[in-house]
Chain A
Amino acid sequence: MNLHQEEKAISVQELIQQKKSKSQNKIKSEKIVPVILLLTAIVSVLTTIGIVVTLFVETTTFFSHVSIKEFFTAQKWYPFSETQGSYGILPLISGTLKVALIAAVVAVPIGLAVAIFLSEYASDRTRRVIKPILEVLAGIPTIVYGFFALTFVTPVLREMIPSLQIFNALSPGIVIGIMITPMIASLSEDAMSSVPKVMKEGAYALGATKLEVAIKIVIPAAVSGIVASIVLAISRAIGETMIVAVAGGSTPNLSFDVTSSIQTMTAYIVQVSQGDAGYGTTIYYSIYAVGFTLFIFTLFMNMLAQFISKRFREEY
């Protein structure tokens, strides 16, 4: 009884004080943890800066061999020709943009349709089944997609378009489209699902059908997120490497033709780094210039995505 009373006499505040004096370690860890976290943040920032600096330095070296004017205006990309080498990046850019455009044409409608279905029509159960499947699609290694393009899509397409070459822009474009569809679907679905329920209810209460609510309320309210997802996905398509390296060919051409062999910026970098271009040669430095151009492209796209999501946000 006495003991019990003694125990009771110690208040919770006192217990906390006792614990506190014992656990000096806790106070130390409170101070150390933020430092560790800051260090890891600094590592990733430094890496980024390092990459940009390397790209920039090697690119300047390249431009001491080849003039900037030639790089951006020459219409031929013949880096391997010893006698009449030409370093005009336009053919590589055209190859890249063709593939990205085809990918967008495939992925935007399908991705949006999937997003609308998932956010407005699908029951919870259906959503729980479909979303993970989409994420699996996003997790397939791109080399697998590459061979899927080369060994399945290209032959099927050649049945329909006999003039299609074995290496072409169409097939990898379509397959990249399939690859980025889950990205558009998933990010757009997030944007659509975050449209407040009360807003949709307001429309339903006026006798709107599901489709009318989806098209006239949900999409306009989510448009910033949707556009941002599309721009990010296209930026991913521009940066995609393996699929185009496997199925796109290695013939840089400045044209709008999608049936013949192309080369994208990424595929060129792969080609050179696999080959035996010696250190210090113009070809060696050219991959940095191409890489830098690619970096500018994707940086621009990402900034565009950010700008759009700010500019077109419907405030609610």
Chain B
Amino acid sequence: MSTLVAPKKEAADSIFNDKNLHAKNKVYQTKELNLWYGSNHALKQINLDIYENEVTAIIGPSGCGKSTYIKALNRMIEMVPSVKTSGEIQYRGRNIFDKRYGVEELRTKVGMVFQKPNPFPKSIYENVVYGPRIHGIRDKKVLNQIVEKSLKGAALWDEVKDRLQDNAYGLSGGQQQRLCIARCLAIEPDVILMDEPTSALDPISTLKVEELVQILKKEYSIIIVTHNMQQAARISDRTAFFLNGEVVEFAETDKIFSNPTDKRTEDYITGRFG
């Protein structure tokens, strides 16, 4: 497609990436997904694949459906009473909208980090062990190990190891968000969904979370919704551009930002709207 007009080197890159693309496993396959809030058609014919151990960024202007899409991936969207869907989202080959698919089972595999840090009003320790506890892990020793591992995984251990029993609300916003990531890691999910995880954070905390995402993708598949295009460019391997409930373009991040196929993508990433 656009490789025809692109310089040679990039064309070569693109081919290389395409090969890579086939080698990688797909975590999620979205097929003809439509979603309505009441009569508002919020997602239209979405087809999108998410690959293992990659960071997939979803960008687009407000109201384009990017948050709706990410919340559909762990069925959190069903908490909105008037939601209807059609089409499929396959997670590891199983349709998550299948009636036999337990939503708790899905969410045990697919963790989520929210826009605003939302720790529980409990101690740091209790926040991390909440997930393992509800899934039946009671052994104190195991829980202690989980806490250390998860907090280390979220790059928070050194800052809080001496005050695990303090209330989580005493932490700074950035620390709270990393605690939420640790809480998510504690059940060792397969996928981590991040819904604008840095939009409520200061630049330094944002940087820390971004660095963390780079480390986490070695073990997890990450899907991140972001308002910030530079962030998508910095941290993601693949980027999907949403507009008015449709996927306008989905490609390797390098390609989307250097050589977008669609005029609308180009207008958006160059800051002409949005």
Instruction: Report which B residues bind A (CB closer than 8 A).
Output: 74, 76, 79, 81, 104-108, 111-112, 114, 116, 118-122, 130-131, 133-135, 167, 169, 180, 183-184, 187
The SS class assigned to the A binding surface is helix
- Does A220 sit within 8 A of B, measured CB to CB? yes
A-side contacts of B134, CB under 8 Å: 203, 206-209, 212, 216
- Does A199 sit within 8 A of B, measured CB to CB? yes
Residue in contact with B116 in the complex, picked from A198, A203, A314, CB distance below 8 Å:
A198
Min CB distance, B86 to chain A, in Å? 22
Given A196-B118, A198-B116, A201-B76, A207 and B81 contact (CB-CB distance below 8 Å): no
Identify 28 residue pairs between A and B in the complex whose beta-carbon atoms are under 8 Å apart, listed by A's number: A198-B114, A198-B116, A199-B121, A201-B79, A201-B118, A202-B118, A203-B120, A203-B134, A204-B76, A204-B79, A205-B112, A205-B114, A205-B184, A206-B131, A206-B187, A207-B107, A207-B131, A207-B134, A208-B104, A208-B134, A209-B104, A209-B134, A212-B134, A216-B130, A217-B120, A220-B121, A315-B169, A316-B121
A-side contacts of B131, CB under 8 Å: 206-207
Write the A35-50 contact mask toward B (1 if CB under 8 angstroms, else 0): 0000000000000000
Whether B105 contacts A207 by the Cβ 8 Å rule is yes
**Cα(A202)–Cα(B127), bound, Å:** 10
Whether B114 contacts A202 by the Cβ 8 Å rule is yes
A-side contacts of B167, CB under 8 Å: 315
- Contacting B at CB under 8 A, from A118-132, are 123-124
Residue in contact with B81 in the complex, picked from A124, A202, A216, A220, CB distance below 8 Å:
A124
Given contacts A209-B104, A216-B134, 13 further A-B contacts (CB under 8 A): A199-B118, A201-B118, A202-B118, A204-B107, A205-B76, A206-B107, A206-B131, A207-B131, A216-B130, A217-B120, A221-B121, A315-B121, A315-B167
B-side contacts of A198, CB under 8 Å: 114, 116, 118
Given A199-B120, A212-B134, A206 and B111 contact (CB-CB distance below 8 Å): yes
Min CB distance, B153 to chain A, in Å? 15
**Cα(A217)–Cα(B183), bound, Å:** 14
Min CB distance, A210 to chain B, in Å? 10
- Contacting B at CB under 8 A, from A188-246, are 196, 198-199, 201-209, 212, 216-217, 220-221
- A123, A124, A217: most-surrounded residue (chain B CB, <10 A): A217
**Cα(A315)–Cα(B130), bound, Å:** 18
B-side contacts of A216, CB under 8 Å: 130, 133-134
Min CB distance, B150 to chain A, in Å? 12
The residue of chain A having its C-beta at the shortest distance from the C-beta of B132 within the complex is A206
Instruction: Report which A residues bind B (CB closer than 8 A).
Output: 123-124, 196, 198-199, 201-209, 212, 216-217, 220-221, 314-316
Min CB distance, B128 to chain A, in Å? 11
Residue in contact with A316 in the complex, picked from B79, B106, B112, B169, CB distance below 8 Å:
B169
Residue in contact with B183 in the complex, picked from A202, A204, A209, A315, CB distance below 8 Å:
A202
**Cα(A123)–Cα(B107), bound, Å:** 22
**Cα(A94)–Cα(B121), bound, Å:** 40
- A196, A221, A315, A316: most-surrounded residue (chain B CB, <10 A): A316
**Cα(A202)–Cα(B115), bound, Å:** 11
- B107, B167, B184: most-surrounded residue (chain A CB, <10 A): B107
B-side contacts of A316, CB under 8 Å: 121, 169
Q: Nearest 9 A-B pairs (CB), nearest first?
A: A207-B108, A314-B121, A205-B112, A207-B107, A206-B131, A198-B118, A316-B121, A202-B118, A207-B104
A-side contacts of B112, CB under 8 Å: 201, 205
**Cα(A199)–Cα(B169), bound, Å:** 12
B-side contacts of A209, CB under 8 Å: 104, 134
Given A198-B118, A199-B120, A315-B121, A206 and B169 contact (CB-CB distance below 8 Å): no
- A123, A202, A206, A314: most-surrounded residue (chain B CB, <10 A): A206
A-side contacts of B107, CB under 8 Å: 204-207
Min CB distance, A315 to chain B, in Å? 6
B-side contacts of A196, CB under 8 Å: 118
Given A207-B108, A209-B104, A212-B134, A202 and B121 contact (CB-CB distance below 8 Å): no
Given A123-B81, A198-B116, A315-B169, A206 and B121 contact (CB-CB distance below 8 Å): no
Min CB distance, A310 to chain B, in Å? 15
B-side contacts of A201, CB under 8 Å: 76, 79, 112, 114, 118
Min CB distance, B69 to chain A, in Å? 16
The residue of chain B having its C-beta at the shortest distance from the C-beta of A199 within the complex is B118
B-side contacts of A221, CB under 8 Å: 120-121
Residue in contact with B130 in the complex, picked from A123, A124, A203, CB distance below 8 Å:
A203
Min CB distance, B172 to chain A, in Å? 15
The residue of chain B having its C-beta at the shortest distance from the C-beta of A124 within the complex is B81
B-side contacts of A212, CB under 8 Å: 134
